[in-house]
Structure formats: structure tokens, C-alpha cells
Structure 1
Amino acid sequence: MPAIIDPDRDLGLISLTDRAPRPFGGAVVQDEYDLHAPWHHHDMHQLQYAFEGSMDVEDNHGRHVLPRSLAGWIPAGTRHRNSLHRIRSVSVLLSPGCVPEAGTGVRILRVSPLMREMLAEAARWPLEGGLDATGRAFFAAFARLCREWIADRAPLTLPSTTDPALGRALAHVRADPAGSRMREALHAAGLSERTLRRRCQAQIGMGWDEYRRRARLLASLEPLTATTRSIARIAADAGFESQSAYARAFRLLTGQTPTEFRRQSRP
């Protein structure tokens, strides 16, 4: 699938199947996808997951990084855009009626061993192929479990803004969380430090330092869950001054230590 090069365009509704015979559920294997998709929405619920590497999903509330320890729940009708580049990944699509309390906006979910195995097994039933009796039973069970999974959302997101100047400053942080510095961000935004800090708090609900700290934490998730690097090395690479500072910030955000999060994310 070729990359889409205009991510700011809004494509509106993308229906992945014919509305008339739309299946109860099905999977789209995305291993060969190489895209940075524009804004769009679907008429089915979507659970998106990367078995290796990571992908980005963004909605009106913020940007979400999804390494293999996390999945993205995208309710039907949610405006979003995503980015993935030739990684082993899958999307499970479910008709809206099977998960009635789907929520609004993208939700980041912790991936349990059961969820990971079911996401892998879902590839047996491609979305366009229809469902046999086993497939119908499988996706009925999957939908019921989704009601539990989406109730346990992870607070791992970076808020976004419609303010162009503040957006440039935040983009500077996202581009290089470990190396980002206030001076360069001020230059990118064309703002004074006082104005930048005030706009951060007013428009995204967190201070500048907290935004940068969260960006660094999110940048650490992929090496934490997909490599065997030491926690100290991961902390340093993400821009933290010490392993203890990293562990404190990580636990404050997730409720777990980095070691506990790593252990939980293992297949």
C-alpha cells in the first residue's frame, strides 16, 4: 500500500466493507503497510496493534504511541490519523452494535497475553472474507472482552493543540524528546518563555516541563518493551538525568515501575 503524503487532509468516512453485507467482525493484516494516513474515520470500531516496532495514532485530543505493550481502541466515527511503516501489525474491526459502550476518542489499552493471542488469531478471518460459525463465535467473544479492555485505559498520550505557534513548539519536543531544549522550542514557536509556559497550561492542561517529560516517557516505551537494554541505558537515551528519576516519573504516570511494565509486556 503506497504512502499517503498529505496527512493534513481530511478524507472523511472510509468504509472498509460494503455496508449491505458488512460482517460482524474481521481482521486487516497490515504487515506491508507503509503510510502516514490523513485524517479519516471508519464506520466500524477498530482495535489496532503492532506485534513489533510501534505505530502512531492521533485524534482530536492528542498523539498516541503504540509499542507492542499497548493497543489503540478507535471507536466507530472517531476522527483520527495514523502512521505505520512496514511493521507486523493488525487491525480488528467490529460492527458498532457489538460494543455499545465504545466510548469516544482513541483509548490506549494495556495488552494482556490473552489480548495479544486473540489479536494474532483474528488474522484467520480477513474482514473481506466473511465469517464461518467459529469466526462468529470468536468475534462475539472478542467483542465482549473489548468491553472489559476499554475500561482499563492507560494514561499514555500527548495532548495536542490547534494553536499554530504552540504546535510548533510541541512538534519540536516530539521530534527529539531527549535532546529538546526550551531555547530551540522558543525559536521554533516565535514565543517568549513566559507566553509558551502560559499557553501550555491553558491549552493542553499541563506545563511545558511535564509535556517534555511525558514525551520522553513515551519515547522509552519501545526500547523498554522490545529490547533487552538496561533500564539505566533506556533512561539515559530518553533524556532522563538518572535511572531513579526515570523510574519515579514512569511510576507516577503508569502506576508501575519500568521493570514491572517490561515484564507485563513480554509475550
Structure 2
Amino acid sequence: MSDANRDVGLSTLVAPEHRRSAGAIVQDEYDVDAPWHHHDMHQLQYAFEGAMELEDEHGRHLLPRSLAGWIPAGVRHRNSLHRIRSVAILLSPESVPVAGSGVRILRVSPLMREMIAEAVRWPLDRPVDVTGTAFFAAFACLCSEWIEDQAPLTLPSTTDPALIRALDYVRANPAGSHMAAAAVAAGLSERSLRRRCQAELGMGWDEYRRRARLLASIEPLAETDLSIACIAADVGFESQSAFAHAFRRLLGQTPQEFRRRAQR
């Protein structure tokens, strides 16, 4: 494993002798690009404003306020938080016994958002009263349901250095990314880049770029009042109808439906 991908090991967030079986950590002042690590508790990661990035061994995830990240205990991951209003809810492994084997991206319902906001009453390093105990028991039960409704919003990742350079180029500017420039960034021919995309990612170059563009649309859809047509153009689609078709194919709903649900 390269230095960039080496797991720094267990990160407990709060020392075991001070923490409880469930609680919240407010992360508003965090300004970090965390290294690969894992926890011994389940974690639900959520941003009330702005967006965070979360990555596991299978791909990268962007989390605006319409989405949350579920990270089971022991799962290797890393995240980026840059002074956004966010919170992590930590739960003991036994509270959600069927937690899954990897990161899941969850659609945030109004109920989930309200419960995440309420959870900050009980910081992880302080005693949980009777009300808090009942609250987190209910929260854990609901997590078992929520993690079944995951959103297909993932960009696959790779350890191939040349391909990483090409994909970094696409993510940095999905609207303006072109195969020729990506191939130059990777130091590959266009033909070789297409072949490596399919072999390493399980999807072609065009599909990766399309998904990167769709992911870039999530935050403006959830956080702004920009028109759908403007967002479609900003992320690189030639028309609103092409954007709506691609969005519905990936998420199973139209951009308008996604926006209504995200802004409730």
C-alpha cells in the first residue's frame, strides 16, 4: 500500500474511557483532509450546510445536505471537511448489528435531518440521560431502515497512478473535461485511457465523466435556487433534457423531484 493510501489505524474521536455508547460530535470548526482510518463505532456523517467528501475503497462520495454517509465500524475510509456545519453521530456496533460492509450514501428524509439535529444534545463524551438513551435506541433502529435506501452516488476509485491523474482532472472540472486533455494528464494515449477506465473502474470514460457531472449537480440542486437549465449547463450537459434523462437514469427521479425532497 502506498503512503497516500496507508491506513493510520483506529481513530476513536473520543478516548474510550470518556465516551458513551452513542453520541454526537459537532464538526463545525473542522478543516481537515483526513488520512485513511477506521473507527470502532458506527458513524453517520452529515453536513447541514455545504458539502463534504467521503471516500472508501470502492469510490468517492460527495455529501451535500440531501445526503448522509453511513460508515460501519471497522470500515476503512477518509473524508474532507472544510469549515462546514456538520456533525457525526456515533453508535456502538451492537446497536446496529446489520450495518453493512462498506460506506453507504443515504437519502436524508426530513425525519432523519431533524433527528440528526436533535442528537447534538448528547455529545459523545458526556453522560446520556434516560431521554438520550431512548432517543439513540430509536435512532439506531431507524438507521437499520435508512441504510437500505442508499443513493447510487459514487465515483469509483483506483490505485493506478496514471488513471488517478486523469480522474482528478475530470473531478476538478467535469463541465470542461475532454478525453484528449485527460489522456495528456495521465500520460496515456486516448485508446489506453479508455481501456484502463473500463478495466479498472468497471465503467467507460464517457460514463465516468457523465457521473462526475451528475455528482457536481447535487449541491447546486440541493443548496441553490438556480434553474435546472442553468445547473445542467454549468456541469457540462448540452441540454436540460439530456441532463434530466441522465439524472433520472442514475437516481430514479427527476432533478425537480430531487430538489423538492432535498429542500423540504
1:45-64 Cα offsets, whole Å, 9 max, x none, are 00000011100000100000
Q: 1:195: how far off?
A: 1.1
Q: Runs of 5+ in structure 1 lacking a partner?
A: 1-5
Paired letter, 1:15: T
Secondary structure, counterpart of 2:37 in structure 1: strand
State how 1:88-237 maps to structure 2 within 5 Å.
88-237=85-234
Q: What CA distance in whole angstroms lies between the structure 2 residues aligned with 1:15 and 1:21?
A: 11
Q: What percent identity do the matched residue pairs reach?
A: 74
Q: 1:22: how far off?
A: 4.4
Q: 1:8: how far off?
A: 4.8
Matched, 1:14 2:35: no
Secondary structure, counterpart of 1:41 in structure 2: coil
Q: What CA distance in whole angstroms lies between the structure 2 residues aligned with 1:17 and 1:54?
A: 24
Total equivalences in the alignment: 262
Matched, 1:74 2:71: yes
Paired letter, 1:258: P
Q: 1:167: how far off?
A: 1.1
2:18/2:126 contact within 8 Å kept: no
Matched, 1:52 2:49: yes
Matched, 1:242 2:239: yes
Q: What CA distance in whole angstroms lies between the structure 1 residues aligned with 2:200 and 2:233?
A: 30
Q: What CA distance in whole angstroms lies between the structure 1 residues aligned with 2:261 and 2:142?
A: 19
Residue in 1 that maps onto 2:24: 27
1:188-236 Cα offsets, whole Å, 9 max, x none, are 1111111111111111110000000000000010000000000000000
1:25/1:139 contact within 8 Å kept: yes
Q: What CA distance in whole angstroms lies between the structure 1 residues aligned with 2:225 and 2:12?
A: 40
1:48/1:91 contact within 8 Å kept: yes
Paired letter, 1:214: R
Q: 1:11: how far off?
A: 1.6
Paired letter, 2:8: L
Q: What CA distance in whole angstroms lies between the structure 1 residues aligned with 2:103 and 2:206?
A: 24
RMSD of aligned residue pairs (Cα, Å) = 1.2
Q: 1:10: how far off?
A: 2.9
Q: What CA distance in whole angstroms lies between the structure 2 residues aligned with 1:145 and 1:206?
A: 33
Matched, 1:262 2:234: no
Q: What CA distance in whole angstroms lies between the structure 2 residues aligned with 1:110 and 1:198?
A: 33
Q: Runs of 5+ in structure 2 lacking a partner?
A: none
2:22/2:89 contact within 8 Å kept: yes
Q: What CA distance in whole angstroms lies between the structure 2 residues aligned with 1:189 and 1:137?
A: 53
Q: 1:258: how far off?
A: 0.1
TM-score normalised by the chain length of structure 1: 0.95
Q: 1:114 to 1:158 in 2, by over 3 A?
A: same
